[in-house]
Each structure stands twice: as C-alpha cells, then as structure tokens.
Structure 1
Amino acid sequence: MKTLFRAAALGALLVTAGAASASAQTVLTAADTQFKATTLNLSAYGETRVAPDMATITLGVNVESPTAAEAMKANALRMNQVIAALKKAGIESRDIQTSGLNLNPQYVYEQNQPPKLTGYQAANQVTVRVRDLAKLGQAVDATVNAGANTIHGISFGLSDPEGAENAARREAVKALEAKAALYAQATGYKIVRLVSLNESGGYSPEPPRPVMMMAMKRESADSTPIEGGELRVRIDVSATFEAAR
C-alpha cells in the first residue's frame, strides 16, 4: 500500500510539474513574440497660445513709525482703505487674500558704534485675483490712491484651461502620428497599431513678473496700462507603435 501511495504521489507531482512547465513555456512564448515585434518609441508635443482671462497681482502697504504699535496701527488704517478700494473696484472678497504680514525694527549702523534703533516698519501684502482684465489697471490705480505703496509682481492665467489643453492634445497626437508615419516609411514598415500612449505637461500658471513699484498717487485720469499678451499651453506625449513590413 505504501508503494502504491508513493507512486500516486509521484505521478501527481509529475503532472503538476508538467502543467507548470507548459504554463511557463506559454509565458515565454508570448514574451518572445512581443520581443520580436518591431516597435517605434516616439515622442512629440502640441502647443496652443491663448489670451489670458484673469490675473493675479500682489500689492501692499509699508509704513515706518517710531514705535511698533504706531507702525501696525498706521499700516492697518491704510490697508483697510486699500481693501475697500479693491472691493469698490469690483474685486470680490474671495479674490483678496493676505499673503504677507511683517513687523521689523529699523536700525542705523555706524562704524565702531552699536546699532541704533530708529523705529519700526510694518508691511502688509495681499494677493489679488482679478477675473476681469478690463478692470485690472483701474483696480491697481485705486489701491495706490488708497495708500498702497508696493507692487511685487503680476501673473496671468486661465480660469478654465481645459479647452486650450484639449487643442494642444490634438496637435500633439497629429505630430506623433506624422512622426510615426515618417519613420515607418523611411524604414520600409507600416504602422500596425498603437500599443501605448502617455501624456505629460499641461497648463500651469506663469510665475509672477516683476512690476515697478507704485508709491505715488496718479494724477492722470487714465488707468495704468497692463497688457496680458498670450499664454502658452503645451502637452507632451510619448507612444509605442507596432510596425510590420
């Protein structure tokens, strides 16, 4: 009985090993077939340029006073006027965000003398999103007239970049297909199918551009000219194509 049991067990092991070997052979055959296939690995990009429809600008108030309390109080008074001017110019509360608040002592340094405290500087900055570019220049002027004396940067953007991104995607795919057809023709092949497609890139807001500080009230009735220009939206794609003769 023991001999029969051992024979049966050995037979089961042989069957299992045979099935595993056949399965491994199938995997190797599939991998070998894929390895032998002729593929083209290519990349391309599509780009579209569109006019921005919104802008973000950072502005603020710097005040110097003999004491810290006086500096903060004077700064708060002027900053409240600046925020009120923004709202009066049509900027919503959700588009006004405090982005910096600082209080620093001011010193005079003389040779061979200890630093001498001369007062305190209070600085308050807000980042403002302007959704109507036609109001941008007037909004900036209103803040300067209300007491803002620093402007640190401006950037332009898109409230809904999907349309521009899709246009760039179509251009990227066209460029990719044209490149694949060219390589296939040059090497005597034809494209059989698209194996994989990957995307990178897309819309990202541009970094703030430096703008000149505006510390004096404007005397002219004309608003500050600010040009939005164009934004570049780029989509990069890469793909693997199978080719055959």
Structure 2
Amino acid sequence: MRLLATAAVITLSSIAVAPALAQTMPVAPSVLPDGTLLDVTATGKTTRVPDLATIRAGVVTQAATAAAALSDNANRMSAVLSALKQAGIQPRDIATANVSLQPQYRYEDNKPPVITGYQATNNVSIRFRNIAKSGAILDALVAQGANQIDGPNLSLDQPDAALDEARVDAVKRAQARAQLYAKAAGLSVSRILTIAEGGEIAGPPPPMPVYRMAAAKAADTQVMPGESDVTVTITVRFLLK
C-alpha cells in the first residue's frame, strides 16, 4: 500500500461576506483503506456586485472643558443623525460605533503634562442599501458637521446563494485536480472520504470613494461598487486505487 499526500491551493480575491469557518480535517482512521490517500485543497468562486456599503461617520470636537466638548459634540451629532433620517436611512441601519472623551495634554521638558482641553468623539456605523446614493448622503453629513468618515466596507446583503455557488465550484475544482493527480500516478479516483470547509477568504481592501469635479460646485463623492469574487475554500480527501 502507498500513501500519497498532495495539496493544491488556489487563492482568489473576494469580498468579506461572513465570518470564516474554522474546521479541522478529520483524523485519519487507525485502519487505512486499501488504496492511496490524496488531499486536495481548492477554492471555488463566483462573482457578484456588492449591494451593501457600511461606513462609519461621526463628529470630533474639542473644547476647554469636558462638558463643553460633549455639549458641542452632541449638538453636531444631532444634526448628523437628522440628516441621515431625512435621507431615508432606516434606524435599523444606524448603530453607535464609538463614543469617547479624551483629555488633551501639553508636554514640556522636565515638567508634568498639563491638560489643555478635551476631545469628544461620537461615531455611528451606517449601512447603505443603495450604494449609488451613499456618496451624496456622505456629502450631506459633512455639510451638517460630520468631520470623521471611514469606509466604505462593501459586502452582500444576502450572501448565501453566492456562497453555495462557490462551494459547488470548489468541489468541481477539487475533483478535476484529483483526476489529474490520479492519472499522473497511474491510478484512478475511487471515492471521496471527507470534505472540510476552510471558510470564506477575505479579499483586498474595499474600494475608496472616487471624487468627481463638477463646474461651479464642490466635488461630489461617488462610491463605486465594482465586481468582486465570493470564494470558499475546501479540503477534500480522495481514495485512489
């Protein structure tokens, strides 16, 4: 009996659609089957246009006292939240991401730090279900006092169908590769012993907003979703004879 352990890995760019699954390849039985074992790792993919953008936006204010910094921040943040409501963003798509109050210090040689004021920060996470409108809404937020924006993080609202397509593609790729190895070794694929899913692969950083200049007005922010690959990686153990 011969034992052949071979692994082939494909890495493809993708969008992040769900938390990665951590699964371990089943332990080989104490009594090996009559044949040669072959492990193949393959990544299947399908292509989708992201339909959900998540962006963090908020207000950072500074004042001489903590109370003044918080008060100013609350007033500006109220205007930002009102702008989101007027833009049609539903409450379920707005969540507080961070609230903080930090003292600001002045440092001098051989002297203890001196508090010079306070900085208040309030950020919300916003989900845009219409990506085409997200840039215009961000411009409106800035006009209402938002001075901190991070994102977008592009994803799929309903990723299950895309993931299943990627899983089917991964199995086909693994089977084709197993046939290739078996033929090269003068063997044939008998059957599949185990299949383990390694999870979805995170892709490259999300695209940044693109700015377009228009005559006689400020730049309009545009968020371009583009196309991205949804990928799933599996490890398949074959029995060759």
| 1:237 and 2:227 correspond | no
Unaligned residue ranges in structure 1 (runs of 5+): 1-29, 213-218
Once the two structures are superposed, what CA deviation does each residue of 1:198-238 show, in whole Å capped at 9, x if it has no partner?
A: 222226697677779xxxxxx83663112223333211122
Report the equivalent of 2:125. Answer: 127
Give matches, 1:73-222, under 5 Å.
73-202=71-200, 220=217
Contact 2:132 2:222 in 1 (8 A): no
Contact 1:157 1:231 in 2 (8 A): no
Distance 1:38 1:115, change over 3 A: closer
Highest Rg: 1 or 2?
A: 1
Contact 2:96 2:125 in 1 (8 A): yes
AA aligned to 2:177 is K
The offset of 1:145, in angstroms, is 0.7
Distance in 1 (CA, whole Å) between partners of 2:48 and 2:169 is 14
| 1:226 and 2:223 correspond | yes
Contact 1:157 1:205 in 2 (8 A): no
Q: SS in structure 2 opposite 1:234?
A: strand
Q: Which has the higher helix share?
A: 1
Identity among equivalent pairs (%): 41
Aligned with 1:50 (options 43, 48, 51): 48
Distance in 2 (CA, whole Å) between partners of 1:62 and 1:211 is 21
Which runs of at least 4 in structure 1 moved beyond 4 Å after TM superposition?
203-212
Give the length in aligned residue pairs. Answer: 208
Unaligned residue ranges in structure 2 (runs of 5+): 1-28, 211-215
Distance in 1 (CA, whole Å) between partners of 2:224 and 2:208 is 14
Distance in 2 (CA, whole Å) between partners of 1:131 and 1:203 is 23
Distance 1:221 1:147, change over 3 A: same
CA RMSD of the aligned region, Å? 2.6
Distance 1:208 1:61, change over 3 A: farther
Q: SS in structure 2 opposite 1:160?
A: coil
AA aligned to 1:74 is D
Q: SS in structure 2 opposite 1:224?
A: strand
Q: Tell which has more relative contact order, 1 or 2 (C-alpha 8 A, sep 6+).
A: 2
Q: SS in structure 2 opposite 1:91?
A: coil
* TM-score normalised according to structure 2 size: 0.76
Contact 2:208 2:223 in 1 (8 A): no
Distance in 1 (CA, whole Å) between partners of 2:175 and 2:67 is 67
Contact 2:53 2:152 in 1 (8 A): yes
